[in-house]
């Protein structure tokens, strides 16, 4: 609960990006300036997670008016406070056209043209201080956990998640409720709940901003899962590069334990749930769930053979349920509002919203949460403000392991079903938009180089295939390629897709094969005459 009811609140978005632009210093300066004008009782400065557009420097938002300001510098703070709070008028110089979500009405999701239509996962991001558990509690935080512990059986919880139609948001789109039911069935204990926060897919940073902006929501989702499957221990496996996320999660865990919302006898029931953090050490393949388990156990990050599936034999050979950060962030809202409410968002077969990171040659890059089924055209022109330069050429959907969409795909609805209909997958949520200045062969060289580095070396198709493909692409780019090379590339790519051991090798050639189909002339014109 907000401790003091001030007349206005100034939100300072502090995340990995804005820190670079001095967000912390600006926050301190705001407090000093507001104090100087003796306005401290009326204007409260609140640190929060990512507020919105990510390429606008330090962003501050003002409640209740909903104004947002970007690119503010330390030098401008004094003038800003003077104008906005002493004189009481908008500080036009830095005012952004976007507005804070004021009085969100979740039915507003029909009017897709506005940037903020109501959000599920990111609802609190930029609204509450992620380092203050009281504020999370103030927005119905931990209520879902309380309700299920007192009123619902584990079976009922799983049923709700199943009925909601929620699918895993890590990329593969496996039904979450079904996954939980596997781990719930087995009698073997202890069981583990693991949150996969090893977000390494290039272009993806949605999980980072969820953890930085609303860490408790992830923890609450994990605890609910623990109750549903019968686990008393949870782990968050997080990339070593995500310093701020690690700090905020550590604090969140401590604070929740202090209030009895995690740890022993949660809500005075006999349910215990302890969460610990495990830090990764720089390996992309560890985002694959069985590889993640090996890494968590202190071994090299190589995938395991399935079956047995983690639900049967996972971490330390015990039943384990692994879900993505975004998946866990959907859980508490579903419990609170019900499966039917969740199904109002998105499409019939892919309910809910999807958090995307939109990047590249566009005007506004950053994080958006939109209903499933929004098209690429809407994302580029309505949400991202259009191309920053040049003409749209292609988009890589779902990160480096994803597919390539050319202009003919601009109007395809982005959801699990529609994309699998054209042989594509939704992937991690990264959308990299490129204009005509990008050379396809050069871009593919960069993508495949990434996989040569990240291939774990366990299986031959992936270990050798990635290197061989890179060599050929390099040759072609230097004008030394022959016509047969194209055939070899295709053969290698298809072989990798069919025979690689884990999803890394199976998806590495996706973009290569797509671009060879969509832009064959870019390959052939480089070939030796």
The residues of the shown chain that bind another protein, judged by CB under 8 A, are: 16-17, 19-20, 54-55, 199-205, 208, 239-243, 278-284, 295-301, 316, 357, 359-361, 365-367, 396, 400, 430, 432, 434, 438, 443, 446-447, 449-450, 453-454, 456
The per-residue b/e assignment along 193-228, b for 16 or more CB within 10 angstroms, e otherwise, is: bbbbbbbbbbbbbbbbbbbbbbbbbbbbbbbbbbbb
Nearest distance from C-beta of residue 430 to another protein, angstroms? 8
Query: How far, in Å, CA of 509 to CA of 493, rounded?
Result: 5
Q: Count CB-CB contacts under 10 A for residue 497.
A: 17
Q: Count CB-CB contacts under 10 A for residue 59.
A: 31
Note whether 313 and 306 are within 8 A (CB). no
Question: What is the CB-side half-sphere exposure of residue 181 using CA atoms within 13 A?
Answer: 13
Nearest distance from C-beta of residue 325 to another protein, angstroms? 12
Which three-class secondary structure state does DSSP give residue 270? coil
Nearest distance from C-beta of residue 448 to another protein, angstroms? 10
Nearest distance from C-beta of residue 284 to another protein, angstroms? 6
Query: How far, in Å, CA of 48 to CA of 214, rounded?
Result: 9
Identity of the residue, 169 or 361, whose beta carbon is nearer to another protein in the bound complex: 361
Identity of the residue, 280 or 481, whose beta carbon is nearer to another protein in the bound complex: 280
Q: For 131-170, give the DSSP string.
A: T-HHHHHHTTTTHHHHHHHHH--HHHHHHHHHHHT-B-TT
Query: How far, in Å, CA of 521 to CA of 439, rounded?
Result: 11
Nearest distance from C-beta of residue 175 to another protein, angstroms? 27
Identity of the residue, 48 or 347, whose beta carbon is nearer to another protein in the bound complex: 48
According to DSSP, residue 83 is labeled I
Q: Give the distance, in angstroms, between the CA of residue 224 and the centroid of all CA atoms in the same chain.
A: 20
Nearest distance from C-beta of residue 77 to another protein, angstroms? 21
Nearest distance from C-beta of residue 376 to another protein, angstroms? 17
Identity of the residue, 49 or 373, whose beta carbon is nearer to another protein in the bound complex: 49
Identity of the residue, 109 or 237, whose beta carbon is nearer to another protein in the bound complex: 237
Identity of the residue, 300 or 344, whose beta carbon is nearer to another protein in the bound complex: 300
Q: Is 457 exposed, middle or buried (0-12, 13-18, 19+ CB in 10 A)?
A: exposed
Identity of the residue, 91 or 242, whose beta carbon is nearer to another protein in the bound complex: 242
Identity of the residue, 280 or 509, whose beta carbon is nearer to another protein in the bound complex: 280
Nearest distance from C-beta of residue 81 to another protein, angstroms? 26
Q: Count CB-CB contacts under 10 A for residue 42.
A: 13
Nearest distance from C-beta of residue 256 to another protein, angstroms? 22
Identity of the residue, 124 or 357, whose beta carbon is nearer to another protein in the bound complex: 357
The per-residue b/e assignment along 235-255, b for 16 or more CB within 10 angstroms, e otherwise, is: bbbbbeebebbbebbeebbeb
Question: In terms of Cα–Cα distance, which of 188, 195, 436 is closest to 317?
Answer: 188
Question: In terms of Cα–Cα distance, which of 17, 34, 46 is closest to 129?
Answer: 46
């Amino acid at each position: 609960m907000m401790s003091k009811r001030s007349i206005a609140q100034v939100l300072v978005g502090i995340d990995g990006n804005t820190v670079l632009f001095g967000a912390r210093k600006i926050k301190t300066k705001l407090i000093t300036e507001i104090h100087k004008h003796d306005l401290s009782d009326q204007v409260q400065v609140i640190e929060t997670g990512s507020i919105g557009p990510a390429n606008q420097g330090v962003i501050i938002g003002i409640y209740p008016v909903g104004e947002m300001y970007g690119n503010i510098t330390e030098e401008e703070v004094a003038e800003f406070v003077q104008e906005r709070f002493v004189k009481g008028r908008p500080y036009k110089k830095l005012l952004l056209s976007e507005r804070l979500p004021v009085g969100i009405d979740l039915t507003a999701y029909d009017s897709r043209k506005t940037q903020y239509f109501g959000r599920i996962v990111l609802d609190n991001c930029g609204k509450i201080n992620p380092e203050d558990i009281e504020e999370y509690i103030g927005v119905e935080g931990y209520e879902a956990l309380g309700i299920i512990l007192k009123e619902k059986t584990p079976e009922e919880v799983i049923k709700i998640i199943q009925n909601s139609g929620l699918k895993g948001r890590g990329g593969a789109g496996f039904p979450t409720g079904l996954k939980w039911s596997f781990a719930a069935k087995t009698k073997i204990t202890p069981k583990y709940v693991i949150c996969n926060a090893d977000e390494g897919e290039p272009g993806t940073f949605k999980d980072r901003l969820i953890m930085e902006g609303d860490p408790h929501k992830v923890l609450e989702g994990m605890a609910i899962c623990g109750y549903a499957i019968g686990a008393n221990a949870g782990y968050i496996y997080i990339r070593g590069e995500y310093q701020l996320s690690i700090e905020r999660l550590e604090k969140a865990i401590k604070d929740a334990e202090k209030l009895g919302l995690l740890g022993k006898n949660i809500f005075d029931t006999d349910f215990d749930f302890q969460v610990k953090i495990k830090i990764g050490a720089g390996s992309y393949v560890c985002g694959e769930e069985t590889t993640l388990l090996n890494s968590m156990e202190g071994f090299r990050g190589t995938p395991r053979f399935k079956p047995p599936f983690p639900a049967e034999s996972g971490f330390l050979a015990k039943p384990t349920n692994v879900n993505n950060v975004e998946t866990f962030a959907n859980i508490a809202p579903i419990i609170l509002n019900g499966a039917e409410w969740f199904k109002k968002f998105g499409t019939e077969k892919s309910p809910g919203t999807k958090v995307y990171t939109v990047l590249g040659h566009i005007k506004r890059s950053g994080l958006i949460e939109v209903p499933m089924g929004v098209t690429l055209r809407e994302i580029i022109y309505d949400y991202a403000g259009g191309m920053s330069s040049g003409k749209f050429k292609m988009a890589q959907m779902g990160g480096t392991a994803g597919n390539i969409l050319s202009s003919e795909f601009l109007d395809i609805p982005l959801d699990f079903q529609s994309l699998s209909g054209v042989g594509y997958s939704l992937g991690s949520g990264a959308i990299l938009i490129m204009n005509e200045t990008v050379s396809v062969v050069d871009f593919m060289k960069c993508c495949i180089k990434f996989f040569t580095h990240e291939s774990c070396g366990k299986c031959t198709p992936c270990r050798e295939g990635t290197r061989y493909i890179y060599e050929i692409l390099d040759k072609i780019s230097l004008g030394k390629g022959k016509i047969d090379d194209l055939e070899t590339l295709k053969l290698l790519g298809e072989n990798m897709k069919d025979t690689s051991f884990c999803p890394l090798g199976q998806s590495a050639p996706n973009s290569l094969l797509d671009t060879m189909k969509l832009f064959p002339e870019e390959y052939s014109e480089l070939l030796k005459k």
